[in-house]
Structure 1
Amino acid sequence: MRIISLNVNGIRAAQKKGMFEWLSRQDADVICLQEVRADASILENALYQLPKYHAYYQSAEKKGYSGVGILSKKKPDKVIRSLGFPLADTEGRYIHAEFGNLVVASLYLPSGTSGEARQDQKYVFLDAYLAILKKQITSKRSYIICGDWNIAHKEIDLKNWKTNQKNSGFLPQERAWLDKLFDKVGFVDAFRMVNLEPNNYTWWSSRSRVAFENNVGWRIDYQIVTPDLREKVKTASIYKAERFSDHAPLVMDYDLSI
């Protein structure tokens, strides 16, 4: 089973850059998109659908902001578009599809880069979401949570870690939250199950013209799975040959079927 996750930084812009043509060639079973930034009336357009895929989107109440989506070859048994707390649900930050016992989610966790107030909101989200994750891991269901988590976990996960220790996305409290998620709650960073190498990044700042060319990036896009899927992870790759966004697609294969 192949799952692709990508923060598109605006689905209309990504479509114009050829994203859907590339996706159509990948033979993915499930595609998870984040930061779609379009409402339902726009997303119903054939430009933002993929032939032979079922498409499900959840937009933010604010136009042109946030939003997530899932495209799947197989029609899900059920689609859930809510986490049950306002910051997630009004901003369109979560959607998941259920295939029997397997749940595949698309998540867009808030950034705190715009200021202290927004960083505080990010911590509110993390606290509320952790309580949900604790319930999910004891539910006897398998979860693959794809998306832009807006946190680089360890020093290996960003190029300039020394100069970013006081910046949102690499703050001690954020990194400790991921420590707790992996070490205490028990979720697994699927990418690191098959790739322990440095210099694997999924996002490069558009403020620097040479960040991508010099690979000065961050790994903030993950596929995070329940521990029963630890040994099911087969391959992981970050696609950089074409650019559809300031993020790169994270492509992962699992020894699973739906």
Structure 2
Amino acid sequence: MRKFTTTYYQLSSNGKFPEGKGFRLAFISDLHNMEFGPDNAVLKAAIDRADPDLVIIGGDQIVAKPGESLDPGLAFAGHLAEEYPVVYGCGNHEYRLKLYPEQYGDRYEKLRERLTAAGIRYLENETADLAIRDCPIRIYGYAMDRTYYNRFYRGPLPVLELTDHLGKTDPARYGILLAHHPAYRTSYAAYGADLTLSGHYHGGVVGFGAHRGLVTPDFRLFSKNCRGLFQTGNTCQIISAGTGEHTIPVRIWNRRELIITDIGQP
């Protein structure tokens, strides 16, 4: 059976929660229709054991290929939503469904419809205000333009791109930015959300230490941004190694990953 690891983090609320308050979130990224046991029962059991207050899906829950089903990725998201609040950010595979209707027909619309019917908040350049255990949160779901996903693009991501799509961060709420592409860490920190959640790099195929991988989907060699926790001032970025893969179905020293994060004092 495929295996994954569960990684735990403890983060400060940066003084934005009432004293003694906090919450726990589970973060899944890049499932790519992978299954851990029938109907993803093994992955679901690991999430249940962690007992999160919120589940965040960081994008690429599905695989965007002509003829590829939207299951089991969306079915699993629906199962999670039966028990937990679920917020779903846009990855490059969800974005691809929207960008190329001549290839994918109405699959993007079907994806949105299924998520809405399941009660899942899908954020595509949108925000959501939540109160989890009396903790005020704003989630910023950034869907970046395809320019920045270009395999050979090495230019910057202007912070203005984020503010134009999402507005400025609310200093009274703990901000969680869903930004699927991890490479633009400096821009995410400058935007000012307390926590950025990313994926996309699948841990770099072959892992070297805590953060470095062999190669990324945009052909960066030995990137230092393949997985792990990074801190810049009062802002943090967590980059998931992902729970699945598709084009290169190989992982060496790079186990699939479920992330559990306590923010404040849950």
State if a TM-score over 0.5 links the two structures.
no
Q: Which structure carries more helix by proportion?
A: 1
- Higher RCO by CA contacts (8 Å cutoff, separation 6 or greater): 2
Structure 2 length-normalised TM: 0.44
